[in-house]
Chains A and B, each alone.
Chain A
Amino acid sequence: MPVILARDLHKRYAGFDPVLRGVDMEAEAGEMVAVMGPSGCGKSTMLHILGMLHAPDSGRLEILGTDVFSLNREQTAAFRRVNMGFVMQSSNLFDHSTVFENVEFPLIYEGIPPKERWERVIRALDLVRLTARVHYRSNRLSGGEQQRAAIARAMVNNPRILLADEPTGALDVRTSSHIMENFRALCHCGGVCLVMVTHDPKMAEYCDTIYTLEEGVLHCRKRELKEIAAPAEGWESALAANEWSGEGDIPPVPEQRGILGFLKSLLLEK
């Protein structure tokens, strides 16, 4: 069963020409999908529809077997919370917050008890080799580190689908390829389905499937599906087995619980 099944999606902004004129797409667990196309052709619009942030004018979208357009606002948010992670082109992180606080956020929404959060955050950061920066304020990170933190945040909830809108658009080639390696590990070892918008052919080459969006319709350029045993528990267990581990020492859990710890964290973090 495909993770994402989109059929005949149409979208036009009122008063403008149609942007999407019948998009069809299928994506399996563990598949890396790249969507290419010139600027302004509707790639972001399509990704937003796949992420249920936008409703299309017509068409059908099944995600993990659920007809997602039948969900109401509240259910949509809950569905997104559990199944999806987003990475945007830039400005992904919250101001005035540390890396930990950023990555912790989806766990808060999901109602994970505070005790379990630290370990999950560290594991997600380990995935993008950013554990050493866990207490940095987001504005002190480099662009690449910010994107990696955003990926960690998108993955911390153990989602089955990762949607990325030009995640490497603001980065240099070296950092970009580093991030693509991260994505590949996630998908091929963890069974995550990635849909990534890019206009960079080099980045698209990392992917199993490449579509181009032309005239509001998706054209398939390449599709080489690998056999992936997608683990039901998600990427964490798969990656753990695959000994894909971060660099540097994992910092110990800072005991910042309780009122005192909280006050300390307020005062000390700059």
Chain B
Amino acid sequence: MIAMSDLFRISLRQVVRQRNYGVVLSIALGITAYIVLAVLGREIRYKIGQDMVLMGGVNVINVLMTDSQYPGQPVREFYPETVRAIEGLPGVYMVSRNIRNNVSFNLRGEGERSLQVSFIGVDEYYAETFSLEAVAGRLLTAEDVSGRRRVCLLGLDAARDLYGGAGQSLGKFLFLDKEVFEVVGVITGVMLGSQRRGGFLPITSMIDRNWGGGKVTRLYVRATGWEDVAGLVKLIPDVVRSHQAAPYVRLETQEDQLKRIRFTFMWVESLLWLGIAASLMLGGFGIWTGTFAAVRARTREVGLKKAMGGSDADILAQFLAEALCKAVTGGFLGIIVGALLVETGAALLDTGFSYGLLATSSLASIVFSAVIGVAGGLYPAIQASRMDVVTALRFE
């Protein structure tokens, strides 16, 4: 039996000299796509998902106490323990407390402007839960909330209507029910909606004054990803009830949007995997036909080698090794390109990636491509090894 070192040296030489790179490239393509998807898939999905998902507010779950709709019921609020328990659930990114009912004040603006502005009570997590940003000043801080301070935020439209711009409204004092509140920031964001015309007070400040009922009657639960929403919707009511009485707790999600996004993602993802599978299959098929073609084109060579004493196993090993070399060369190429893409992709998406995952998927790729090489090359190689010597020698 031919020595392994010779076998692979000769096979590699053949592969290089035949210049049959189509097969190598197609396998490389498949492996590249596989590596990128395997290593960065989660991050890509999250990143692409985030914009899409947040615009629809799809991964925010509203948890409401609806007691007020039932006559005779006491109005219940969410206890801090309940909030902490929800925060501890897997898949929960953050929980923001909110007072469902708003409170309206007639405000005096610049000049003779006057405006009815409705305020809601929020905490320091509100802005991040809805991906809001401060266009001027700052967001509410934990100190604002725990210190029960007399500060407030304005929506961008409210700030413009009252003072003609975001910057101008900073530091202004608002008279709310004869008390003075300082405007410390102006916020905006896609998900803010009509509340852009409103204002925001620390929940504690509202509770102290019994504004809007003075109770935390709503939680905004932001899930880490949209995939987590369904599971959380099932879990949250039980978690709430295990910490407090909450007979009329209700959950609201963007069911339709969620469905649509789930559907879109399923399609995108299955198309991607289909592409990978197709390109790998193309490579395998290329190896299959390529090896067949090689066997046919080199029938005479097979005859000559058998005549000089090459055994069936030698011939089999040679064609198989060539197929394997092509496939694994493609695999290595794919890994290199894939790793580079992962690096740049991670930099572009501004996320990290797991080197362990890269290593395992590279290993899997090598195994993959070897399997493709063997699977594609085995049958033609067996055919070659079984070939009758004289038939092969008489072949021109």
Q: Which residues of A contact B (CB under 8 A)?
A: 44, 48, 51, 53-54, 73-74, 77-82, 84-86, 88, 91-92, 94-96, 101, 105-106, 108-111, 114, 153-154, 157, 262, 265-266
CB distance from B6 to the nearest CB of A (A): 5
What 7 pairs between A and B have smallest CB-CB spacing? A81-B309, A77-B311, A96-B17, A53-B389, A86-B307, A80-B309, A108-B6
Binds A, one of B116-124, B225-233, B278-286, B298-306: B298-306
CB distance B298 to A77 under 8 Å? no
Binds A, one of B8-16, B92-100, B139-147, B347-355: B8-16
CB distance from A164 to the nearest CB of B (A): 12
Q: How far is the CA of A101 from the CA of B304 in the complex (A)?
A: 14
Q: Chain B residues with Cβ under 8 A from A73's Cβ?
A: 311-312
CB distance B393 to A88 under 8 Å? yes
CB distance A106 to B309 under 8 Å? yes
B304: contacting residue among A81, A92, A266, CB under 8 A: A92
Contact A109:B312 (CB < 8 A) given known A53-B389, A262-B9: no
Residue B293 at the A interface, CB < 8 A? no
Q: Chain A residues with Cβ under 8 A from B306's Cβ?
A: 53, 77
Q: How far is the CA of A18 from the CA of B43 in the complex (A)?
A: 75
Contact A53:B308 (CB < 8 A) given known A91-B396, A96-B14, A108-B6: no
Residue B18 at the A interface, CB < 8 A? yes
Contact A91:B390 (CB < 8 A) given known A77-B306, A105-B305, A106-B308: no
CB distance A109 to B307 under 8 Å? no
B308: contacting residue among A44, A79, A95, A109, CB under 8 A: A109
B390: contacting residue among A53, A74, A110, A154, CB under 8 A: A53
Q: Chain B residues with Cβ under 8 A from A77's Cβ?
A: 306, 309-312, 314
Q: How far is the CA of A92 from the CA of B311 in the complex (A)?
A: 18
Q: Chain A residues with Cβ under 8 A from B305's Cβ?
A: 105, 109
Q: How far is the CA of A77 from the CA of B393 in the complex (A)?
A: 15
Residue of B with least CB distance to A94? B301
| 15 A-B pairs whose Cβ atoms sit less than 8 Å apart in the complex | A48-B389, A48-B393, A77-B314, A80-B307, A81-B308, A88-B307, A91-B300, A92-B304, A94-B301, A96-B13, A101-B13, A108-B2, A108-B3, A108-B6, A109-B309
CB distance B393 to A53 under 8 Å? yes
Q: Which residues of B contact A (CB under 8 A)?
A: 2-3, 6, 9-10, 12-14, 16-18, 298, 300-301, 304-314, 389-390, 393-394, 396
- A54-B389, A109-B2 known, 13 other contacts, Cβ within 8 Å: A53-B393, A73-B311, A73-B312, A77-B309, A85-B308, A88-B307, A94-B298, A105-B305, A106-B309, A108-B6, A114-B6, A262-B9, A265-B13
Q: Chain B residues with Cβ under 8 A from A157's Cβ?
A: 308-309
CB distance A266 to B16 under 8 Å? yes
Q: How far is the CA of A153 from the CA of B304 in the complex (A)?
A: 11
Residue of B with least CB distance to A84? B309
Q: How far is the CA of A35 from the CA of B331 in the complex (A)?
A: 53
Residue of B with least CB distance to A269? B17
Residue of B with least CB distance to A117? B6
CB distance from B146 to the nearest CB of A (A): 67
Q: How far is the CA of A94 from the CA of B309 in the complex (A)?
A: 15
Q: How far is the CA of A92 from the CA of B16 in the complex (A)?
A: 22
Contact A48:B390 (CB < 8 A) given known A81-B308, A96-B17, A105-B308: yes
Q: How far is the CA of A74 from the CA of B10 in the complex (A)?
A: 22
Q: How far is the CA of A262 from the CA of B390 in the complex (A)?
A: 34
Q: Chain A residues with Cβ under 8 A from B14's Cβ?
A: 96
Q: How far is the CA of A44 from the CA of B304 in the complex (A)?
A: 15
Q: How far is the CA of A111 from the CA of B10 in the complex (A)?
A: 14
Q: How far is the CA of A115 from the CA of B129 in the complex (A)?
A: 72
CB distance B301 to A78 under 8 Å? no
Contact A94:B304 (CB < 8 A) given known A81-B309, A109-B310: yes
CB distance A78 to B311 under 8 Å? yes
Q: Chain B residues with Cβ under 8 A from A105's Cβ?
A: 305, 308
CB distance B390 to A86 under 8 Å? no
Q: Chain B residues with Cβ under 8 A from A78's Cβ?
A: 309, 311
CB distance from B238 to the nearest CB of A (A): 64
Q: Chain A residues with Cβ under 8 A from B312's Cβ?
A: 73-74, 77
Contact A82:B309 (CB < 8 A) given known A91-B396, A96-B14, A108-B3: yes
Residue of B with least CB distance to A108? B6
Q: How far is the CA of A80 from the CA of B314 in the complex (A)?
A: 14
CB distance from B332 to the nearest CB of A (A): 15
Q: Chain A residues with Cβ under 8 A from B3's Cβ?
A: 108, 111
Q: Chain A residues with Cβ under 8 A from B6's Cβ?
A: 108, 114
CB distance from B394 to the nearest CB of A (A): 8
Q: Chain A residues with Cβ under 8 A from B16's Cβ?
A: 266
CB distance from B49 to the nearest CB of A (A): 45
Q: Chain A residues with Cβ under 8 A from B300's Cβ?
A: 91
Q: How far is the CA of A84 from the CA of B314 in the complex (A)?
A: 18
Q: How far is the CA of A110 from the CA of B310 in the complex (A)?
A: 9
Q: How far is the CA of A44 from the CA of B389 in the complex (A)?
A: 13
Q: How far is the CA of A153 from the CA of B12 in the complex (A)?
A: 22
Q: How far is the CA of A232 from the CA of B372 in the complex (A)?
A: 49
Q: How far is the CA of A108 from the CA of B6 in the complex (A)?
A: 7
CB distance from B390 to the nearest CB of A (A): 5
A110: contacting residue among B9, B10, B309, B389, CB under 8 A: B309
Q: How far is the CA of A270 from the CA of B5 in the complex (A)?
A: 23
